[in-house]
A and B are shown apart, each in its own frame.
Chain A
């Protein structure tokens, strides 16, 4: 403080002697130093008061009470200033915690795509913002059964991420029950309904492929219908299934449906971020998606996912407005 006082005295007396731009500039730089050292406004006035006293000893007396008055007035500015400083620090801490939370979510909710010899599986999931509101979960039993849950949480950010973790652990505790899609949805619905607030829901499409018998069974909880491409007929079928969003009512029932998959058939599951063309409402998104699949049906499931993303992004002029998730299974 002593050092600052003498520096200030020097700068002030230089300025009193020569009121030049250069001396003002030196004062400005000195202010930066004061801010950096967290000197409060009332202390600055005090420094000024002492410096004036030293430079003009004759005048001491008449101005002093006025300075003391100003110091009192500035105390409140000082308090506001310190509050601001501590808020900045708290904000930095929050940002750090958010960053950690995002990383934890990424690790916790990382989807592992199973590599099976008899089935070709592809997946892409691109978040619109930092946290992904879509989640895909695979379960499989060697080369016999493969099940997949494609989910979309309504709501964004931290609450959505927490809700997603519930879904994940719900699915993981299913163990041997995972082969019955309507039962799975009933269980997960009860888990979510108990723990979540009124405006938080999850939509889920759950499918299970009996690999040996080529039977694909599925159920849907308020989710975008999946698409089934029949290679033999060269046609698409929408896999519509009735069922309420997860987390709305505690005792919801979900219809069980199944189809037979023939050689080279394709099943495409997706979230509404894929079918919702917000910036191009004039286009029929389903027609575009189906024709892209037909044009590229010979590439691998993963390549097909990538093509869908790239092409739709291009059609929408790179302005996707939601998380984008596609899972493709090729028989």
Chain B
């Protein structure tokens, strides 16, 4: 069980790629990594979750916390590449109406 995240900045946009399993054990590291992201006014952040093969509600909490901070600091967060299971998780929790989310399919279409 492991989790990795790395960032790439391109054209004033910050891209984050998350990989692995997000659960109680890996969540605190993800939280630290996201807390370390400096959000400047108007910064667009896109987090790609297409390589996340498991996420529990702790992981969900971390993304919401990050989303709320971005909102306060006038940045924009978008989650992309969600698998059907993750998509369902965001739907059940009502978060898909609140956050900017794209499923796996849409990402492919855009390419």
Give A residues with C-beta under 8 Å from B: 152, 154-156, 197-201, 203, 221-225, 242-245, 248-249, 252, 272, 276, 278, 321-322
Which of A155, A203, A243, A276 is within 8 Å of B58, CB to CB? A155
Nearest A residue (CB) for B98: A244
| B107 is an interface residue with CB less than 8 A from chain A | no
CA distance A3 to B59 in the complex (A): 61
Q: Contact: B98 with A152, CB < 8 Å?
A: no
* Residue of B31, B58, B94, B95 most packed against chain A (CB within 10 A): B94
A245–B94 touching, CB < 8 Å? yes
Q: Within the assembled complex, what's the spacing in Å between the Cα atoms of A278 and B57?
A: 13
Query: Count of chain B residues with Cβ under 8 Å from any Cβ of A?
Result: 20
Quick check: A243 and B54 within 8 Å, CB to CB?
Answer: no
Q: Are B97 and A244 in contact (CB under 8 A)?
A: yes
Contact at B93–A222, with CB atoms within 8 Å? yes
**Considering the chains assembled together, what is the distance between the CA atoms of A167 and B23 in angstroms?**
24
CA distance A202 to B49 in the complex (A): 23
Chain A nearest CB: distance from B1 CB in Å?
11
When distances are taken between beta carbons in the complex, the residues of chain B under 8 Å from A222 are 92-95
Chain B residues positioned under 8 Å from A224 (CB to CB): 92
Residues of B within 8 A of A243 (CB): 94
B57 contacts across to A, CB distance below 8 A: 152, 154, 201, 203, 272
Interface set, chain B 37-75, CB cutoff 8 A to A: 54, 56-58, 60-62, 64-65, 68-69
**A242 — which chain B residues lie within 8 A by C-beta?**
94, 97
Q: Are B92 and A199 in contact (CB under 8 A)?
A: no
A241 to chain B, nearest CB (A): 10
| Interface pair B94/A156, CB less than 8 Å apart | no
Interface pair A203/B93, CB less than 8 Å apart: yes
Q: How far, in angstroms, from A322 to B92 measured CA to CA in the complex?
A: 18
CB-defined contacts of A322 to chain B, threshold 8 Å = 56
**Is the CB–CB distance between B60 and A154 below 8 Å?**
yes
Complex contacts, A200 vs chain B, CB 8 Å:
61
Q: Is the CB of A225 within 8 A of B94?
A: no
Instruction: Give chain A nearest CB distance to B29 CB in angstroms.
Output: 14
Find out whether the CB atom of A201 lies under 8 angstroms from the CB atom of B54: no
Instruction: Give the complex CA separation of A224 and B56 in angstroms.
Output: 13
Residue of A nearest to B85 (CB): A281
Q: Hey, which chain A residues are within 8 Å of B94, CB to CB?
A: 221-222, 242-245, 252
Query: With the chains together, A201 CA to B94 CA distance in Å?
Result: 12
Beta-carbon contact of B62 and A199 below 8 Å: yes
Contact B56 A244 (CB under 8 A): no
A245 neighbours in B (Cβ, 8 Å): 64, 93-95
Measured in the bound complex, the distance between the Cα atoms of B93 and A222 in whole Å is 3
Contact indicator B24/A156 (Cβ below 8 Å): yes
* Residues in B89-111 with C-beta less than 8 Å from chain A: 92-95, 97-98
**Is there contact, CB below 8 Å, between B98 and A276?**
no
